[in-house]
Amino acid sequence: MAPNFPIEPPEDFERNTILRAWVSTMPQVSVPNGFEESVLLRVHRTVMPLWQKLTIAAIGCSVILTLGYFFLFPRPEIVTVVRVPELTSQTVDLYNLPPASVHEMPELSGKPKTQTVSTVKPQKRHGVAGY
Amino acid sequence: MTLRSPWHGITDEAVLEQFLGGDERAFVELMRRYKQPIITCVYRFLGSYDDACYVSQETFVRLYRFAGTYQGEVKFSTWLYTIAGNLARTELKKYRRKYGTSLQQAFGIGEDAETWDIPDESYRPDEQVDSTKITQEVQKALMRVSPSYREMVILRDLQQLSYEEISAITETELGTVKSRINRGRAQMQDMLRELYDELFGTSSP
């Protein structure tokens, strides 16, 4: 049943109606050519097959596990041995030479044994107490 | 005689089901059904044709990848608009981060005031899309309305969606949806005063 008193429309009734009409009749935006093709291209570029995902996951896990192992169980310090070149005769400490070895020569076994003595002449120690 | 599409009369949800069953043609059909409304909606929101194309394409890429997550609680179209809306909002945020800041960020004001951020004044109408003076002015006014109002005005007045659908798409309370639409329209009326004066005469209220 209709009311018997006039119902006033809101103040902005006309403006609002026009606005809604304008917005609702705004033109549709044209879709660019090749829209669907480029979506499909992007889809197939971004969607990886399962085996690729699994491979990447496996590599990632192994890297994380390796790094984690080295982080949790650090290896002891490695001692590096550096080979020093053998001392030459110039740097030999003449005061502390080891006694020369005595070799027995089989070709001279019949003859009386001679003692092989080192040719290095011992020198006096200068500035050492007791000499 | 016109050939009818094999998908004629099949609901979106049924087409989606066929796509989930492995039929790629079903995906193309969904794209054909929604590319036009999605690109229009996104363009009206962002105001840039190139960005609208990018966001629309991304929407369908997401559909392809995450179609399996559709639960059927809302209509398929509502779900698709939600994806497009989220992407468009993200795009707008990126743009704003690059070129400007909002009052909310500047003053740290509450969530309720999020709609009072600085409107985008840099919009220039795309004359290829909007050829008449009225559509150019309306689009210009839309771009100056706060984004959260704009989104709802577009969904309601351009896409003709129900308040309930808009509420689901924007994840906003029904009452808030209605008030934002009204505020958005009021802001647009202020901006379109010159156009109204031409139409109603200067003595109009």
B11-100 carries CATH number 1.10.1740.10 = yes
Question: Please, what's the b/e burial string for B113-139 (b: 16 or more CB within 10 A of its CB; e: otherwise)?
Answer: eebebebbeebebbeebbeeebbbbbb
CATH number given to B117-200: 1.10.10.10
Per residue in B178-192, pLDDT (tens digit) is 999 999 999 999 999
pLDDT for residue A119? 64
> Looking at residue B103, what is its pLDDT?
40
Integer angstrom CA distances of residue A125 from A62, A91, A118, A122, A129: 66, 16, 18, 9, 9
**Tens digit of each residue's pLDDT (9 = 90 or more) over A12-71:** 888 899 999 999 999 988 899 999 999 999 888 766 667 777 888 889 989 999 888 888
At B110, the pLDDT band (50, 70, 90 cuts) reads very low
Q: Residue B112: its pLDDT value, please?
A: 43
DSSP B5: P
Q: Is B39 on the interface with A (CB under 8 A)?
A: yes
Q: Where do the domains of chain A lie?
A: 44-75
Of A26, A32, A47, the CB nearest to B135: A26
| A26: CB partners within 8 A, 6+ apart | B44, B130, B135, B138, B139, B158
Shortest CA gap A33–chain B (Å)? 11
Smallest Cα–Cα separation from A39: which of B59, B50, B22, B51? Answer: B59
CB contact under 8 A, B130 and A26: yes
Tell me whether A42 touches chain B (CB under 8 Å).
yes
- Highest mean pLDDT among A88-102, B89-103, B156-170 belongs to B156-170
In chain B, where are the structural domains located?
A: 11-100, 117-200
A104: which 2 tokens?
């027995």
